Structure 1
Amino acid sequence: MLSDDELALLEAIRESGSLSRAAARLGKAPSTISHAARQLEERFDALLFDRRRYRLQLTPAGQLLAQESTRLALDVSRLSQRVRQVASGWEDRLWIVTDEIIEFESLLPVIAAFDALESGVPLRVTHEVLKGTWEALRDGRADIVVGATNEPPAIQGLRWFELGVMDWVFAVSPRHPLAEAKEPLVRDLVTGHRAVVVADTSRGTEGSAYGIHGGQATLAVPTMHAKILAQRDGLGVGWLPRQRIASLLQRGELVEKNTADPREPNLLYVAWRGDHEGRALDWWLEQLKQPRLAKRLVQGLDTFVR
């Protein structure tokens, strides 16, 4: 690896094209720069400078040395920063996994506030669905999960708190046959129509889906937003978060139907492993305990408002 002076020498020669101008740029005598250049070539046993032309240039070997040395210097600088970061209690990185039902847009102000701390901790935010969210924590693909549903499973060292309660509504397109059906809708009637579900991302189990009855046809989609769109367009039926479709219900683009088997509200959880500690994790947990943020995450955004 090159010293800072050697890197500066290569850069000065590359940009100025002469030993004299490089010397002036570095505030040194031309003879000193010429001697340093030859020492560098002897050290690597390679021709690093092309002296045959009027303009002094780096040879391909010299260009490679300059590029790789700069990259290595940056890597060392980053490593030094990360070592200091971890030594002061910050993690090397923080991996946040949200259940897909939590909208990423709701987290943007929190990420901005975290950036303002200048901790140096890189964030990775991904999402899973249903059992896949808990699996991510169990398998080490998450440092913290946000919005996980169902009861917390048996995971060694698991710690959690309740984020909030999500309310659901059974909704269909006004063009769907169930829109005019007599209420409450009985199970046999609902089962005769295709349900729209957000596909469970569990890797180790068959996965699960809410409100699906045995033998019922399904349309699996990747996101809750896609599920809302599919049901709005009459491609199936199912349960949707009430707050996120409020404007669609108000405009009549979706119709709420009472069912004989109502769905209970869902508790959403924030969870982490107790053996994984750090200042970034602690900061995020404190933010997620704030009632205003928790409410925003659970209720979501009605993106269909006009």
Structure 2
Amino acid sequence: MLSPNELALLEAIRDSGSLSRAAAKLGKAPSSVSHAARQLEERFDALLFDRRRYRLQLTPAGQLLAGEAGRLMQDVARLTQRVRQVASGWEDRLHIVSDEILEFELMAPLIQDFDKLDSGVTLRFTHEVLGGTWEALREGRADLIVGATNEPQAMPNLQWAELGVMEWLFAVSPRHPLAKAKAPLRQDQIQQHRAVVVADTARGAALRGYGGVGGQATLAVPSMRAKLLAQREGLGVGWVPRHRAASLLARGELVEKATETPREPNLLYLAWRGDHEGRALQWWLEQLRRPGMASALMRGVDAFR
């Protein structure tokens, strides 16, 4: 490992190409710089400086040493910062998993506010669906889950809080046969048409999906946005979050249909492990539990123009 002075010497000679200019840059006498250069070569038992030409240059070995030493020193500096960060109560990283029912764009203001703390914590956001959201927390792939549906599951040290209520509506394309059917739609009418579903991302549990009923043909898609697009194109029908469908309904690209069996609203949850509560997790919990935050997260983004 090079000392900061030795790395500075290599960089000064590489950048200036002159012993005298390198000495001036370092604020040292040329003889002192020359002596330090020879000591460095003796230490590594390698020719690091090419003195045969008009310009003093690093040899390939010297270039390798300068580049790798600089990278290692940056790594050490980052490691030192991370150690201090964790020692002061901040996590090294925070993995937040949101159910795909919520739109990531609405997290952006919170991320901007978190960045202002200059905590050094690395944030990672991913999406899961239905049971996959709870599974990510249970298996340690998430530190915090946002917008999880269904009841909190049994797992060690689980902490949870209610986030808000998600309302649903039954939507079809204006070109779909059900668009002209008399409302309220009966269950047997709906079952005659393919449902578009967002598939559960759970790996180790019985899979379910947003949007289908028993015995109905399904088209499984990877996200709620894909579900909305598929229903807009008349590829199927199904229940969609009211906030996510608002812009399509306003433009007449989707039609809301009443049904004989309305779908009950979903209660959405925040959940985390009580044995891993660092300062970053606490900050996110405080922000997400502020009054009005649930409605802000379920405001909807018009991504369909």
Match for residue 117 of structure 2?
Answer: 117
Q: What is the number of equivalent residue pairs in this alignment? A: 305
Deviation of 1:250 after TM superposition, in Å, equals 3.0
Once residues 297 and 175 of structure 2 are traced to their aligned partners in structure 1, the CA distance between those partners, rounded to angstroms, is: 31
Once residues 28 and 249 of structure 2 are traced to their aligned partners in structure 1, the CA distance between those partners, rounded to angstroms, is: 76
Identity %: 75
Once residues 18 and 79 of structure 1 are traced to their aligned partners in structure 2, the CA distance between those partners, rounded to angstroms, is: 34
Once residues 283 and 93 of structure 1 are traced to their aligned partners in structure 2, the CA distance between those partners, rounded to angstroms, is: 13
Match for residue 297 of structure 1?
Answer: 297
Deviation of 1:217 after TM superposition, in Å, equals 1.3
Match for residue 250 of structure 2?
Answer: 250
Match for residue 10 of structure 1?
Answer: 10
Match for residue 139 of structure 2?
Answer: 139
Contact 1:211 1:263 in 2 (8 A): no
Once residues 278 and 230 of structure 1 are traced to their aligned partners in structure 2, the CA distance between those partners, rounded to angstroms, is: 41
Q: With structure 2 as the length reference, what TM-score do the two structures score?
A: 0.97
Match for residue 267 of structure 2?
Answer: 267
Alignment CA distance shift 1:42-1:179 (3 Å): same
Match for residue 87 of structure 1?
Answer: 87
Once residues 210 and 296 of structure 2 are traced to their aligned partners in structure 1, the CA distance between those partners, rounded to angstroms, is: 23
Post-superposition CA distance 1:247-295 (Å, at most 9, x none): 3223322111111221100111000001111100000000000122221
Once residues 20 and 243 of structure 2 are traced to their aligned partners in structure 1, the CA distance between those partners, rounded to angstroms, is: 71
Q: Following TM superposition, where does structure 1 have runs of at least 4 consecutive aligned residues deviating by more than 6 angstroms?
A: none
Which moved further from structure 2: 171-180 or 215-224? Answer: 215-224
Match for residue 233 of structure 1?
Answer: 233
Match for residue 41 of structure 1?
Answer: 41
Deviation of 1:297 after TM superposition, in Å, equals 0.9
Match for residue 56 of structure 1?
Answer: 56
Post-superposition CA distance 1:116-175 (Å, at most 9, x none): 001111111111111110010000000000000111111111100011001110010111
| SS of equivalent residue, structure 1 residue 299 | coil
Once residues 243 and 23 of structure 1 are traced to their aligned partners in structure 2, the CA distance between those partners, rounded to angstroms, is: 66
CA RMSD of aligned residues (A): 1.2
Contact 1:244 1:303 in 2 (8 A): no
Deviation of 1:301 after TM superposition, in Å, equals 2.5
Contact 2:211 2:240 in 1 (8 A): no
5+ residue gaps, structure 2: none
Once residues 124 and 211 of structure 1 are traced to their aligned partners in structure 2, the CA distance between those partners, rounded to angstroms, is: 28
Contact 1:134 1:145 in 2 (8 A): yes
Match for residue 221 of structure 1?
Answer: 221
Once residues 302 and 150 of structure 1 are traced to their aligned partners in structure 2, the CA distance between those partners, rounded to angstroms, is: 26
Contact 1:157 1:273 in 2 (8 A): yes
Once residues 51 and 272 of structure 2 are traced to their aligned partners in structure 1, the CA distance between those partners, rounded to angstroms, is: 62
Q: With structure 1 as the length reference, what TM-score do the two structures score?
A: 0.96
Letter matched to residue 244 of structure 2: R
| SS of equivalent residue, structure 1 residue 291 | coil
Match for residue 29 of structure 1?
Answer: 29
Letter matched to residue 4 of structure 1: P
Contact 1:166 1:299 in 2 (8 A): no
Post-superposition CA distance 1:155-207 (Å, at most 9, x none): 11110001100111001011101111222222222111111111211111231
Deviation of 1:100 after TM superposition, in Å, equals 0.8
Deviation of 1:302 after TM superposition, in Å, equals 3.8
Post-superposition CA distance 1:224-267 (Å, at most 9, x none): 11111111110100011112222322332211111122110011
| SS of equivalent residue, structure 1 residue 68 | helix
Once residues 225 and 97 of structure 2 are traced to their aligned partners in structure 1, the CA distance between those partners, rounded to angstroms, is: 18
Once residues 199 and 250 of structure 2 are traced to their aligned partners in structure 1, the CA distance between those partners, rounded to angstroms, is: 28
| SS of equivalent residue, structure 1 residue 151 | coil
| SS of equivalent residue, structure 1 residue 55 | coil
5+ residue gaps, structure 1: none
Once residues 3 and 148 of structure 2 are traced to their aligned partners in structure 1, the CA distance between those partners, rounded to angstroms, is: 50
Match for residue 20 of structure 1?
Answer: 20
Deviation of 1:211 after TM superposition, in Å, equals 4.1
| SS of equivalent residue, structure 1 residue 73 | helix
Contact 1:243 1:302 in 2 (8 A): no
